[in-house]
Amino acid sequence: MGDSTDPGKGPACGVRPAEIICPPARYPRGVSKAPPPPQLLVIFGASGDLARRKLLPALYNLAHDGLLPTPFAVVGYGRKAWDDANFRIHARRAVEEFSRRRIDEVHWQRFAEGLFYVTGDYNTGVCYETLDRRLGQLESTLHTLGRRLYYCATPSKLFALIVEGIGAQRATGPSRVVLEKPIGHDLASARSLDRAVRRTFSEPQIFRIDHYLGKDTLQNILVFRFANPLIERIWSGEAIEHMQVTVAETLGVEHRGGYYETAGAMRDMVQSHLLQVLAYLTMERPARLGGAPLRDAKAALLDAVRPFDPTDVVRGQYQWGVVEGHEVPGYREEEDVASDSSTETYVAVRAWVDNDRWRGVPFLMRTGKRMAHRVTEVVVELRDPGAGHLFAEAVAGVPCNRIMIQLQPDPGISIAFRVKEPGLGPDMQTVPMRFSYGTAFAVEPPEAYEHLLLDALAGDETLFLREDVVERAWEIVAPAIREPGAIHPYPAGTWGPSAADQLTPPHKWHLR
């Protein structure tokens, strides 16, 4: 990863290799939350990819850490004709393959005893009756007091049907529902889904997931901004010239071509993850961290984001290429993808936040599949004071201050600043200070889904999307979806189409 302007790289632009200024430290992992109350977790679509790769491993890790409620049980639901034993075998394989921790037999046995499965489809009332009966039986033996968390982990077109099926059985009482992204396909479908879900659940019972919000590294953006006066005082357009957000994947669409054809990068990534990252980077300081104030601050920020001008958007689609040494097919050759598809696998946007803090500051955001490297990072470029500055001559051509926040794969923050070169002359260089989570903390952070599942079980809605935020995000991307513009091919294994360079002047993409 990286180009010559990366503060962590070589001296091509006057930047020398990094020095770690934060001494390696070992901190115990603290969990300050009260344990969630006893309940049942019902996963619709329990045989699917999300359950296998994320939910079951996250639940196992929470069980391992003693953070799940007691009593507690997980009931998988789906069309697969499984029984409890099949589900437990499936869950074990999922944990073996995807958990951040290896299986510990004692913890596993205790966790597995709380896994159950009910077979049924999504549109037959009698199937929901069967499920409800099974849940009732478990409740009477476990004493979970009718508290249920229903998790919709199916394709989103089924969400309304599932919620209707739940609602047909009984009043939902203290239960809640989790909806995975995407929440709708556009503003109208998001509203229609919301209307359908609210026939059964009220807004405080609805937990809409954008898993980026469960990432430690995203939450650290708020800590970095608001717990450090050094940073908080410079965080505005007065000192900041522009920001870049890059979310680059090396994967293609894998087996999700059918879904991706109906979505594309604008719906799949920008409407959700990138706008959430932008909100964390730019929102005003919330009055409190929890619940409504944080969500209000985010909503207010998104209200100030200008709906995308189609001329500020560049779309791309990957073609055959080489990614990390392997040849990969083009998007149109992928399974379930049309041979003349015009779905974008890459989007670059120049976004604007029309409020006093950020007016006139460009936010260059891009995301793509089959890019050169897997990386999620934010680059914050500070303004150079320019003419009249004490060192105006000496700084010419020496990069100004830059803050890089890397969210993955090597989370950390680096700050580049100018120093005097040793010697008798006035020359200076830009050097980086780098903080690396991996080096500074000898603990592995929890997965985003651990955080989110724990919060949903506890009824803490802070990290979940409120309906107004979902709808505003659809309004922001709507003009670009209505007028999608040309699709620019790019070879897999690159940083996307060169057409995206037209968005950046007078700046350049940091990674290219």
Ligand X SMILES: NC(=O)c1ccc[n+]([C@@H]2O[C@H](COP(=O)([O-])OP(=O)(O)OC[C@H]3O[C@@H](n4cnc5c(N)ncnc54)[C@H](OP(=O)(O)O)[C@@H]3O)[C@@H](O)[C@H]2O)c1
* Contacts with ligand X, residue ranges (CB under 6 A): 45, 47-50, 53, 78-80, 153-156, 158, 180-182
46 is in an annotated binding site: yes
In terms of CB distance, is 82 or 495 closer to ligand X? 82
Exposed/middle/buried for 54, CB within 10 Å: 0-12, 13-18, 19+?
buried
33 is in an annotated binding site: no
At its nearest, how many Å lie between ligand X and the CB of residue 496? 22
Nearest to 415 by CA among 12, 4, 22, 73: 22
In terms of CB distance, is 208 or 402 closer to ligand X? 208
CA distance 136 to 144: 10
Instruction: Provide the pairing of β-strand 346-351 with 313-319.
Output: antiparallel
Closest residue to ligand X, judged by C-beta, is: 48
At its nearest, how many Å lie between ligand X and the CB of residue 261? 13
Side-chain half-sphere exposure of 325, counting CA atoms within 13 A: 0
In terms of CB distance, is 97 or 232 closer to ligand X? 97
Furthest CA-CA distance within the chain: 85
Contacts of 101 (CB under 8 A, 6+ apart): 60, 61, 64
At its nearest, how many Å lie between ligand X and the CB of residue 210? 9
Q: Kindly report whether the peptide bond that precedes residue 432 is cis, defined as omega within 30 degrees of 0.
A: no
Asked whether the CA dihedral 277, 278, 279, 283 is positive or negative, the reply is positive
Is 507 in the active site? Answer: no
366 is in an annotated binding site: no
48 is in an annotated binding site: yes
DSSP 65: T
At its nearest, how many Å lie between ligand X and the CB of residue 80? 4
At its nearest, how many Å lie between ligand X and the CB of residue 53? 6
At its nearest, how many Å lie between ligand X and the CB of residue 50? 3
CA distance 417 to 294: 32
Q: Residue 193: count other Cβ atoms within 10 Å of its Cβ.
A: 23
Q: What is the DSSP string of 375-422?
A: EEEEEEEEPP--TT-TTTTTTTTS---EEEEEEESS-EEEEEEEEEPS
At its nearest, how many Å lie between ligand X and the CB of residue 390? 51
In terms of CB distance, is 14 or 78 closer to ligand X? 78
CA distance 489 to 346: 9
Radius of gyration of the chain (CA): 24
Q: What is the DSSP string of 177-227?
A: EEEPSP--SSHHHHHHHHHHHHTTS-GGGEEE--GGGG-HHHHHHHHHHHS
In terms of CB distance, is 180 or 461 closer to ligand X? 180
CA distance 253 to 237: 37
CA distance 276 to 281: 9
In terms of CB distance, is 49 or 444 closer to ligand X? 49
181 is in an annotated binding site: yes
52 is in an annotated binding site: yes
Among 64, 273, 451, 510, the one annotated catalytic = 273
64 is in an annotated binding site: no
In terms of CB distance, is 14 or 45 closer to ligand X? 45
DSSP 271: I
268 is in an annotated binding site: yes
**Binding-site residue positions for substrate:** 211, 215, 249, 268, 369
- The annotation places the binding site for NADP(+) at 45-52, 79, 181
As annotated, the active-site residues are 273
